[in-house]
Amino acid sequence: MRDFPSCFGESGVQVSKESSSGAGKTAQNLVTCLYQAQLLGRRRVINVTWSKNLMGQGLSVGIDDLGNQCPPCRVEIKPWLFSKRKGSRTLDMEGSKIDIFWDLSAAKFGPGPEPLEGFYVALVFDHQMVLLLGNLIKEAYQRTNARPPPSSAVLVAKTEHIYGKKLYSTKAQFCDNGQFHDVAIECDTVGLKDPCLEICIDKKRVMQIKRLAWKFRGNQTILVDGLPVEVFWDVHSWLFGSPTGNAVFMFQTCLSAEKLLSWSTSSQVLREPQLQGLGFSLILHAWKIE
């Protein structure tokens, strides 16, 4: 069993920073997506975070400079229940204006904070569509009067909080234009001397880890859509920590084992060389609930 990579570069762009000790409801209702795009002459990371709490749905959009040459810019759209779900904001970055438009007035949501359909979120610079999310593509272009970009933004990482008693599930797309897959993680640790960890893709078991008390951290390669996907897991908190603590899983499409995304159990970092054609990372924080 190989250990988790844990290299951190000073030029890293932080995906998330969640403490395993704060197993609150807020942490369980966040989805963060990182997109790589060309903006202001350099590659940037656009951070889109969807949230859900008692006040309703929320959205945050930020732009990070991979070279750390300027501070990150961010706009917060506060949670809503009855307020207007349509609007626009302007970010000032390096003296340039970047416009963010959104229309969530007809958005349909599942159990999580991320909308499923009936919405758009658009980021526009110099009349060019830098990032467009959602299925209301025609409406977004009409609203922004933007032209298509020479190259599309690429989703490079997604961090999601899921929760359950022994079964944790989500949907994931492991390659551009690939199909969405059902991802299920099952692990019952209550009263068991020798718990077992199972991971299924589309209801087919692709991993089974026995003697989990000895193998609470590790990694293994599976195949999804014919592509190798490296799966990392850390369930130490489930076995030896708080009863309502979280485990961390990462599904990383990669070109080789030497080019794996650097990360740790408390925070995940994307470094500039690793954003070039490496693939996609799905990072799951699985929280136990009583």
Given this model, what pLDDT does residue 94 score?
75
Q: What's the pTM?
A: 0.78
Non-local (6+) Cβ contacts of 167 within 8 A are 184, 185, 186
Given this model, what pLDDT does residue 53 score?
81
The amino acid that residue 151 corresponds to is: S
Do 162 and 204 fall into the same domain?
yes
Given this model, what pLDDT does residue 3 score?
38
The amino acid that residue 162 corresponds to is: I
Does residue 16 form part of some domain? no
Q: What domain range is 208 assigned to? A: 158-288
Given this model, what pLDDT does residue 188 score?
83
Does residue 25 form part of some domain? no
Given this model, what pLDDT does residue 76 score?
80
Does residue 222 form part of some domain? yes
Does residue 18 form part of some domain? no
Do 144 and 236 fall into the same domain?
no
Picking from 128, 155, 182, the residue at the C-terminal end of a domain is 155
CA distances from 52 to 20, 29, 242 (A): 19, 5, 24
Does residue 122 form part of some domain? yes
Given this model, what pLDDT does residue 131 score?
94
Does residue 27 form part of some domain? no
Per-residue DSSP letter, 167: E
- Asked whether the CA dihedral 120, 144, 90, 63 is positive or negative, the reply is positive
Do 151 and 176 fall into the same domain?
no
Do 106 and 178 fall into the same domain?
no
Does residue 7 form part of some domain? no
Cα–Cα dist 222/211, whole Å: 20
Given this model, what pLDDT does residue 194 score?
79
Picking from 124, 140, 155, the residue at the C-terminal end of a domain is 155
- pLDDT by residue (tens digit) across 112-135? 888 989 999 999 999 999 999 999
Picking from 155, 177, 204, the residue at the C-terminal end of a domain is 155
Do 185 and 281 fall into the same domain?
yes
Given this model, what pLDDT does residue 242 score?
72
The residue ranges of the chain whose pLDDT is under 70 are 1-28, 65-72, 79-84, 176-177, 191-192, 243, 254-278
Looking at the structure of the chain, the number of domains it has is: 2
Cα–Cα dist 126/39, whole Å: 10
